A and B are shown apart, each in its own frame.
Chain A
Amino acid sequence: MYGRKVKLRFLFIASVFLSLILSAFLILKSLEENVVYFKSPSDIQFLEEIKNQKIRVGGMVKENSIKVLPEKINFIVTDYKNEIYVVYSGVLPNLFSEGKGVVAEGFLKDRNFFEATKILAKHDENYMPPEVKEALKEK
């Protein structure tokens, strides 16, 4: 019925379409699973449920809240409305200190307790991550 050329072309277009759909599906599915949400301490207070999912918490490190122990570091992240207690064992960026902005990535244990797996680095003392700035501005 159809020539060989038409058939081949049809096959080609069909395979392109199939692979497009397949890759789009894979990407979207994996996005859904691997996205990390950013929350401020106040957002966390209003969370409906605590999921075992990686999130980021941002705000200021409260004055006089850092406690250093051999295997971990404790501190409090505040947005001047609410605060959350963070425990962390890992590398600290150079600019991590009290009264400065911070973004911590990890898992929420309950509304007041956060177990961080990573503290994100900043590179400039005056620079504040846009998320933190906004989280503080809203309050």
Chain B
Amino acid sequence: MLSSSIGYYSLIFGLCVSIVIIFLSIRNFKISNNLDKKILIFSFVQFALVLVSFLGLISAFVFSDFSNETVFNNSHTTKPLFYKITGTWGNHEGSLLLWLLVLTLFIFIFLLKSKNQPNKYRILTVIFQQIIIFGFFTFLIKTSNPFNYLFPINEEGLGLNPILQDPALAIHPPILYLGYVGSSIIFSSVLAATTLNNINIYWAKHIKVWVLTSWVFLTLGILLGSIWAYYELGWGGFWFWDPVENVSLMPWLALTTLFHCLLVLEKRPIFKSWVIILSISTFTLSMCGTFLVRSGILNSVHTFANDPERGLFILSFLFVLVFISIFIFFIFHKNDENYSSPIFLLSKETSLVINNWFMMYFLSVILIGTVYPIFLDVISSQKISVGPPFYHKLLIPFLIPFLIFMAIGPRLKWIKSELKGKSNLILLLIISLFLSFFIIRNFDPNYLLNSILIGSAFYLFFITIQDFFIKKKRLSQNVAHFGFSLLILSILFNNILSKEIITNLRVGESYKNKDLEIVFNDLIKEDKKNYVSFTGNFSITDKSFKSLLKPELRVYNQPNIITSEADIKITLYRDNFITINSVKNEDYFNVRYLVKPFMLWIWISVLLIVLGGLTSLLKKND
């Protein structure tokens, strides 16, 4: 009761502070070259207010205050304390409040960390960022107030969707948000820098830290979501080209491209317009993602409620932002013609242009695949969906040259490079192709594409390993690229060598084929705090491998939902994955057994990629 009111009023005050900061900054921008101390103080006050509001919501959840509508809709007294807390951002209203919290935190950190930048630029960035913050405040208060009062007060809440009651999912939204929201700083900063014609080498060095930070968080956030879908949703894979996954991958691709462009801009003043466009699109794509996910247009886990008003608001807000940025880009951005920029065909710049081309291609394929069904629904009310075959067909062939360029590119020098002394590059390519040819021949003789693909992945793999020994100065890049090659290799082997068996069994029955036997031994029922658990006992004999797996079926009482908990035996070489599901309360159980080779390596390689980003962040001169 009390905490909700405190939370609500802090939100209102936060909104007012936003207006104050905008006015202060505009005046400050006009009259002086020094940053007004008050802006810094007010930014902190704003952050503190949102934090109070957020803590207010958390305490409403912890003490199960069902006079609060959000708490009533998403919590329950029997829920474990940990999930009461994480349930705060497991719903639409709370997650937006978290988003706002990160927004205000980031602009405050930005002000602290940008002291060596021109003051006009800092002030302007604050103005743009406050416009975004203002938009989110109004959005939150107007369409999704987390502190709505409910009367009469209910005794018990509706409970949190059990699939969200999971440790990976508890930290997935905050981490992902740090990535998304980080892109808003890049957006404001690039607009400010464009207006002041300040896009230069120093700016590139300064913004690179923000790009890397959001990139690291975005990558981690996607990884966590993916792991969660693997074991909790029982999807049994790491990526499904689900629209919701796609909307997180698109800003990731844009951000990765942006980062690589900044590497050039750090050295030479070229690619300026391209950097501006990329920064704007990264944020636009993040916002688009929020819009698609929140408006209920996409059919997904994240669809909390279908409220057209929310979608409309985000959409109009997005249009305003895009309009402002296009306006600024065309009015203020001037390409300095007098800088002559010789680019030779064989140089790092060219390889980065090629990298950009591929990234943009991947991005547009995913964008079209995700948006086209919505578009078609609106114009012709035909309902379609675009599945994995579409993406595989368009993306996989292009991965081959992409991987090869990724291997060669970092070996080239800036401006101009010579072919001399590069014969070992070709030698390695031949070795990798041979190696993959022999591997593929043993498993899967038909796939020419696979063997070339694995060959190019091996190529990158060997070259990056070699790089670890030759040059030490670009460790971060090497780690990340090595991680990427490992990722592609694990994905490919995972795809080729996966096995899946689906069958319906009763207790005591068994399934048998030529190299595998699954026996359903028994089923144990147990009462837990907020659910009833049924644990199946399966013994699996798979050639030399023998194991006992215990998948679980949970029947939650509030809300009344059944979830399957996969049992996964993880080893370095493969995951053995089993889930069960009841069908129509009959004796039969729907059993799914998967063998997923190198699953662990997929997660490890993504962590390596993240580690690469972190190394670059920590090493200032890298």
Contact = CB atoms under 8 A, between A and B. Distances in A.
Interface of A: 19, 23, 26-27, 30-31, 34-38, 54, 56, 66, 68-73, 89-98, 121, 123-125, 127, 129-131, 134
B503 A31 contact: no
Given A27-B394, A123-B161, A127-B303, A36 B387 contact: yes
Interface string B285-319: 00000000000110111010010000000000000
Given A31-B368, A34-B393, A71-B503, A94 B384 contact: no
Interface of B: 161, 163, 233-235, 296-297, 299-301, 303, 306, 357, 361, 364-365, 368-369, 372-373, 382-387, 389-390, 393-394, 502-505, 509, 559-564, 579, 581, 583-584, 586, 588, 590, 592
Given A30-B390, A34-B393, 4 more contacts: A35-B373, A70-B588, A73-B583, A97-B584
A58 to B, nearest CB: 9
B70 to A, nearest CB: 16
* 4 A-B pairs closest in CB distance: A38-B383, A34-B390, A68-B588, A94-B562
10 contacts: A19-B361, A30-B394, A35-B390, A36-B384, A37-B382, A38-B384, A70-B504, A93-B581, A130-B297, A131-B299
A125 B560 contact: yes
B147 to A, nearest CB: 24
A93 to B, nearest CB: 8
Contacts of B509: 70
A131 B383 contact: yes
A91 B235 CA distance: 10
A63 to B, nearest CB: 11
Contacts, number: 105
A98 B582 CA distance: 13
B364 A68 contact: no
A35 B384 contact: yes
B590 A92 contact: yes
Contacts of A23: 361, 364-365
A70 B503 contact: yes
Given A26-B394, A95-B561, A19 B357 contact: yes
Contacts of B373: 35
A125 B559 contact: yes
Contacts of B384: 35-38
A96 B274 CA distance: 48
A95 B235 CA distance: 14
A121 to B, nearest CB: 7
